[in-house]
Structure 1
Amino acid sequence: MTAARAARAFRAAHAAACDGVWAAPGRVNLIGEYTDVNEGFVMPFALPHRTWVAARARTDGRLRLHSAAVPGGVVEVRPDDLVPGGVRGWAAYPAGVLWALREAGHDVPGADLHVESDVPAGAGLSSSAALEVATALALDGLGGAGLSRPALARLAQRAENAFAGVPCGLMDQTASACCRDGHVLHLDTRHLSQRQVPFDPAAHGLRLLVVDTRVRHEVGAGAYAQRRAGCETAARALGVRALRDVAYAQLPGALQELATDPGTAGLRGLVRHVVTENHRVGEVAALLEAGEARATGALLTAGHASLRDDFGVSCPELDLVVAAATGAGALGARMTGAGFGGSAVVLAEAAAEETVRAAVAGAFAAAGHRAPRVVGVTPAQGAGRVA
């Protein structure tokens, strides 16, 4: 898929040439899950897979949206529709970005857009963030606002939270907008400070695999909101702004404090996961900076166990990926994304890649599951204009 193809498809959909093409990638979170909604630390990297948005400015303030993946032709969004809840379906994401830009006081025009993507939807790889960031870049480019990538990421998150109604953290949009080729992004989601940490698996004789289970359990959306609310309740009970403020050394005391109140005792697993996961992020960053990429594998697997047992957001298919991969010699594996389906990330020796792939495929076949989709990935460049 190329920018030229997106430009040709734009002409076919809108009967005119586009002004430019912008692209933004999906992401994999190497470590740091559910820490962003607790003002903590995350370490995502951008995927080679991306969403392309070909765009042309309009003078009437409207959005006219076309997607290669959605039948039904062009969707038109009038200025009066640009209110939270005013647009439904996939169009709410680009429409929400235009709303967020204008609400923030930026004079951006309406636009004709055509969207193409090879980021797998529903796989926990942030296809929605890729669409939002690519749209934000396109609208910013058409309007000449000149916003920074972090600023565009924050506006894209606001679009998803307030317009599309999805209570996501800031990690996905920031990763899509700001990641660099050959690096993972160490992001402090409270202070928004960023550190690019070099990570070139091939240089260490390693291979990163993303395993899309191709399942999505319906419990996901409600359970995400429930756990986020539980973390906020626990933080209030502990007298801190967010669980990020509970230091690793303070964890035993915090768990004991919660245990004394029947109303918060059930939240201990959420707290234990967030605090230990923030600690794991720091450990992985230190290992990568020391050139000890292999040693991160055990931390990935520990993170999965925490997400499964303490935070309760895994599922049988994700657990099977981790068990089969590590059983076949992978250095580590964990679910990535919100959970209840979607994808896992696996770190393996390059020489063991085929063995790990075969083990995962065999385990799924033996369990009667649909074959998973396994893709080798490398940390890629973030969003930008491509034509």
Structure 2
Amino acid sequence: PTAADAPTVFAPSPTANEPTIIAPPPAAPAEPPTAADAPTVFAPSPAIEGPTIVELPSAADAEPPVIETPAIVTPPPDAPAEPPHPPVAQTSSAPVVADISAERARLEALLAAHRETVAQYEQMAARYPAGSVPAFILAGLDAARAELAKTEADLAALPSGPDPAEVARLEGLLTAHRETVAQYEQMAARYPAGSVPTFILAGLDAARAELAKTEAELAALLGNAPTPAPAAVAHPAAPTPIGTPVSILPAPEACLVLADGSEITLAPGRSEYIIGREDPVSNIFPEIDLTPYGGELGGVSRQHAKIVHIGNQWSIVDLNSTNHTRVNGQRIEPQMPTPISDGTKLQFGRLVATFHVKS
């Protein structure tokens, strides 16, 4: 309250005996309230009564909405156009053969087995009159022929390129065979003519047969003619006595007489004669080609056998042929030299010949 609102106190005269009343000092004027303390009062506009109307901007005054568009980068005029990405190749689900040579050998062995099975079924069917062959034999023959055709197709589908691992293996084998042949020739050269022990001659024949077989395998794998063997590696050996003749002499003239009377002459001056069938595709050209004499129908392999002449001895070696080699009716083991002489009966598959030495 202000000083104007305080009550007025009338003090008595000092002479009066009444007690003196001391009036309190006037109260300090109170500070007026600030605007922050005053309550806010919203007074309606004197000119407008009723609800407030907010006027919206017109379409012309409104700002257009912002639309984000992807940035388009234009390459400079000199920049080459980026080539389109190539389509992703679909991976084949066919099995990959890791060792082509092993798979080829497996299929070739399977082919030989299927061919023999077909031949046996044909023999069984041939026993019966026409139209009387039992159904189970005919069914078996059809199945065997189907398996044969399937294996032939699998073999033809193999990659034609040589297997590097197989090439390296054959080249290493060639080196070993050549060194072995050289050692056998050194041993044979120590003896007088006609006195070389049989076991040395047999070993030399076998070593040469293995060398020729490996050379043929490598040539067939690479698709070219066999390369000539390099010079033999020198090996330490006992010195040959002076004047001792070498027992490896050129072969005399000989021939093969076939069952139909055809005569195939063995050219003189050689010590080895490969017998088989010529195959220009594989660069196989044997010295004795039996193709014109029914060799293919007779089951003769491309490299079937080999006739060898060392010293005064003739021998024959089977080169792992499919249908085998027989001497006087007896089948001989592969890579094992078998002595032959004038009049020996030889059989290559189903083709028969007589060996003759011309005097």
TM-score (norm 2): 0.20
Q: Which has the larger radius of gyration?
A: 2
TM-score (norm 1): 0.19
Decide which structure has greater helix share: 1
Decide which structure has greater strand share: 1
